[in-house]
Amino acid sequence: MASAFDVIIVGGGAAGIGAARRLAAHGVSAMLLEGSSRLGGRAQTQDLAGYPLDLGCEWLHSGDRNAWVAIAEASGFPVDRSDPPWTKAHPSLADDKNDRQAAWRAYGGWEERLRSLGSGSDRASDALEPDGPWNAYVRAIAGFMSGVAPEAISATDYLAYDDASTGENWHLPLGYGTLVAASMPTSTTLRLATPVERIDLTAGGVAVTTRAGIVDAGAAILTVSTAVLAGDAIRLPSGIDPWREAAAALPLGRNEKVFLEIGRDAAFEPDTHAYGSLHDARSAAYSIRHNGWPVIGAFLGGDGARIIEEEGPAAGFAYVSAELSALFGTDVASAIRPLAATAWSRMASIGGAYSCALPGRSGARAQLARPFEDRLFFAGEATHPFDFTTAHGAHDSGQRAADEAMAALRDRDGLRRRGPLAATGT
Ligand SMILES: Cc1cc2nc3c(=O)[nH]c(=O)nc-3n(C[C@H](O)[C@H](O)[C@H](O)COP(=O)(O)OP(=O)(O)OC[C@H]3O[C@@H](n4cnc5c(N)ncnc54)[C@H](O)[C@@H]3O)c2cc1C
């Protein structure tokens, strides 16, 4: 392995690639070490039944201010700005309209009560109506948003995301994962299947250890998930405990997807949506024939996703098939066949879906985002102050960490010698 770079980036997801792009734009030499055999991390598009389906991130949330939109357009990736399927209930579910509206109002009421919890409590479950008739639905939506039950959600954190979101949700027909992986700059040295085992501080910066050897650099940008950071897979310098503790206060929730192929002509309207049950907190949200494709994508959160994590993909298929049969009639069971189920929670290199601050711990995001000894810099979705849980938040955090690393390196001899930052004055 080459032995000296200005910056080493650990992790090749949206944050690592965001960091690499910023460093490359300033001519700063960088190596990106990715533990798995592909780029993208929680951004992963897979060709299933001939369609580019997103196993992880799929929606360009806050599309009107999402950095990936400009990247997509500059690289010729089409961006679909039409309304997402969840704005259009499947027409055969018209009878449920009143119930759906009542459930949605109950969710709005819960959000309002989150705002008035005040200093007494930061636990989102305290804003649930005692014995509220739509509490299961509120729990299901909170599970989609955060991957955990309201008991484990900081109300302050939840609202920080909500308040910053613009409500525009756009789509990449070629896949979000395709775009993220394709956006890796060619000037960055890339090593796949090279998990970082250890990082030490040195006089000149950092020494990063992998199975393939030790690489020296002026600084390192760590973009691994909070589950990885809080665990013991990477040995970090002494003194890092407060950062690990902040990562532990931002655990990853559970969110998984199940894809089904519609095998014969069944009465599924394209670009529509359904909830399995408004009265079951485990229930999945179904995206039906999105883009006209003969595919149903089921999204499970919290306890629903736990079915797959604990009982495996077959149990996930059985659960969503039963929900779809209850909604659309028993005939549909013979018209759909399993395509794939994700297992983000079981992947050691990720360990869940996205971060959610524990009650009282919304400040952990800022604590985690602090530089350590001006040598280690932290990025990743969990470090973003309000766009956490997203691929654009991850991207922006990588750019922020790259700026911090460049600022720290600017005064150091090694970089001055090579000169790119001195030249740009960044
Ligand atoms: C089911 C699901 C649906 C989602 N839907 C959306 C959505 O619609 N819109 C949206 O914006 N976001 C969505 N997200 C969230 C989004 O995917 C993530 O927030 C974002 O991709 C995280 O990027 P990251 O770079 O912070 O982390 P990651 O993508 O996790 O990248 C970290 C990388 O570090 C690598 N790594 C781990 N350990 C090591 C090591 N020791 N050495 C080297 N490398 C290592 C990992 O393999 C990984 O590639 C979804 C996520 C899931 C799971």
pLDDT digits (tens, 9 = 90+) for 289-308: 999 999 999 999 999 999 99
Site to probe by mutation for ligand 1, drawn from 31, 79, 183, 224 as the one with most ligand atoms within 8 Å of Cβ, is 224
pLDDT of residue 205: 95
Please list, in sequence order, all residues whose beta carbon lies within 8 angstroms of the beta carbon of residue 216, skipping any fewer than 6 positions away: 3, 4, 5, 202, 204, 205, 206, 207, 208
Atom 4, ligand 1: residue with shortest CA distance? 57
The residue type of 238 is S
Q: Is 206 in the pocket of ligand 1 (CB under 6 A)?
A: no
Question: Distance between terminal CA atoms of the chain?
Answer: 29
Answer whether residue 164 shows pLDDT above 80: yes
8 Å CB contact between 278 and 137: yes
Q: Which atom of ligand 1 is nearest to the CA of 66?
A: 11
Q: Is 223 in the pocket of ligand 1 (CB under 6 A)?
A: yes
CA distance 144 to 6: 39
Q: Is 14 in the pocket of ligand 1 (CB under 6 A)?
A: yes
8 Å CB contact between 32 and 184: yes
Q: Is 339 in the pocket of ligand 1 (CB under 6 A)?
A: no
- Which domains does the chain show, CATH number per domain? 4-39+184-251+354-424 (3.50.50.60), 85-167+254-346 (3.90.660.10)
Find tokens 């499970």 and name the residue. Answer: 300
Answer whether residue 87 shows pLDDT above 90: no
Site to probe by mutation for ligand 1, drawn from 354, 376, 387 as the one with most ligand atoms within 8 Å of Cβ, is 354
Residue 42 Cα to ligand 1 midpoint, Å, equals 3
Mean pLDDT computed over 384-396: 98
Q: Is 396 in the pocket of ligand 1 (CB under 6 A)?
A: no
Atom 39, ligand 1: residue with shortest CA distance? 35
pLDDT of residue 415: 52
Answer whether residue 395 shows pLDDT above 70: yes
Burial class (CB in 10 A: 0-12, 13-18, 19+), 64: exposed
CA distance 285 to 327: 12
pLDDT of residue 425: 38
pLDDT of residue 1: 41
Answer whether residue 75 shows pLDDT above 70: yes
Atom 12, ligand 1: residue with shortest CA distance? 390
pLDDT of residue 95: 66
As a whole number of angstroms, the longest Cα–Cα distance in the chain is 71
23 HSE (CA, 13 A, CB side): 36
pLDDT of residue 361: 98
Answer whether residue 105 shows pLDDT above 90: yes
pLDDT of residue 426: 37
pLDDT of residue 93: 81
Q: Is 224 in the pocket of ligand 1 (CB under 6 A)?
A: yes
Atom 48, ligand 1: residue with shortest CA distance? 41
Q: Is 294 in the pocket of ligand 1 (CB under 6 A)?
A: no
Mean pLDDT computed over 124-142: 97
Answer whether residue 420 shows pLDDT above 60: no
Q: Is 33 in the pocket of ligand 1 (CB under 6 A)?
A: yes
What confidence tens digit (pLDDT) does each residue in 359-375 have? Answer: 999 999 999 999 999 99
